[in-house]
Amino acid sequence: MAGASGSTKDDTAEFLPGAGFHFLTPMYEMLARPMLRGVWRDVVADVKTLAGTGTTLVDLGCGPGTVLRRLAIERPDLSLTGVDIDQRMLSIAGRRLPQARLLQASIDKVPIEDKSADIVISSMVFHHLEHPVKQGAFREARRILKLGGLFLLCDFSVPVNNWGAWLVRWFGKLESGVARQGTGELLEIAAPESLTLIPRWTRIGCITQHEVRIGQ
């Protein structure tokens, strides 16, 4: 998605816009759709399958509300919260999702109560983050989840085939976070936090939906 902090100095001081430049923000979904349409669809399908009636769900890095909007249509029983650092993205999401709670914040400093979410999701935002912010985001997801809650993290990860390896190399030249995650950075961050990443599915050989399991 979009709007993740690249600095821990200030919650909203510095961040990389979802489409790379602020002036492209209104066109984010149009630009991302050719590659991410299937990813968004599968994330929504996962949540629809896994969420019970009345589930409280938090989307970290919700961007313009792409996933939340689809969930609001297909699962109107869900209680939806979106968190994003980019106020421009949240403004777009707000026009589409009057029924959702939208919060402006970096995803390593989330203004949500402890143990208040049944499901936390994050889609295509972690590769924008610096290493310490990723660590903080994992901890925040763990903090806000209820006991037995579910964290679904979808992003670039270790390639599963040659096509995926080529895409990681290509996108990694444009954004270093893609290259780092392609060599296992998410797994390296999760392990010391007693978190285990279990792949659920992979699209285009390198974008993986992980179920993040929390150890005792």
Tens of pLDDT, residues 67-125: 999 999 999 999 999 999 999 999 999 999 999 999 999 999 999 999 999 999 999 99
Q: pLDDT band at residue 193, thresholds of 50, 70 and 90?
A: confident
Residue 19 has pLDDT above 60, yes or no: no
SS3 191: helix
Q: How far apart are CA 161 and CA 182, in angstroms?
A: 12
pLDDT in tens, 139-163: 999 999 999 999 999 999 999 999 9
pLDDT tens for 2-16 read: 444 433 334 444 666
Span of 4-13, 17-26, 55-64, 170-179 with lowest mean pLDDT: 4-13
Q: Which strands sit side by side in the sheet containing 101-104, from one edge to the other?
A: 101-104, 79-84, 56-60, 117-123, 145-156, 207-214, 195-203
| pLDDT computed for residue 6 by the predictor | 38
Round to whole Å and give the CA distance between 64 and 27. Answer: 10
Q: Give ∠ CA 45-144-28 in degrees, rounded to 5.
A: 50
Both structure tokens of 147: 């006991």
C-alpha to C-alpha distance for 5 and 142, rounded to whole angstroms:
18
Mean pLDDT over each residue of the chain, to the nearest integer: 90
Between CA 156 and CA 140 the distance in angstroms is: 20
Q: Which CATH architecture has domain 4-214?
A: 3-Layer(aba) Sandwich (3.40)
The pLDDT, as a whole number, for residue 17 is: 58
Query: H or E segment at 136?
Result: helix 131-144
Average pLDDT, integer, range 19-41: 75
Q: What is the pTM of this model?
A: 0.90
Using the structure block, give the residue that is written with the tokens 């006991």: 147
pLDDT attached to residue 13 = 47
Strand partners, 203: 207
Domain boundaries, the chain: 4-214
Torsion angle of alpha carbons 132, 205, 122, 181, nearest 10°?
A: 0
Residues for the chain: how many in total?
Answer: 216
3-state DSSP call for residue 183? coil
**Contact present, 42 and 203 (Cβ < 8 Å):** yes
Q: Which residue carries 């970290």 as its tokens?
A: 60
- pLDDT over 70, % of the chain: 87
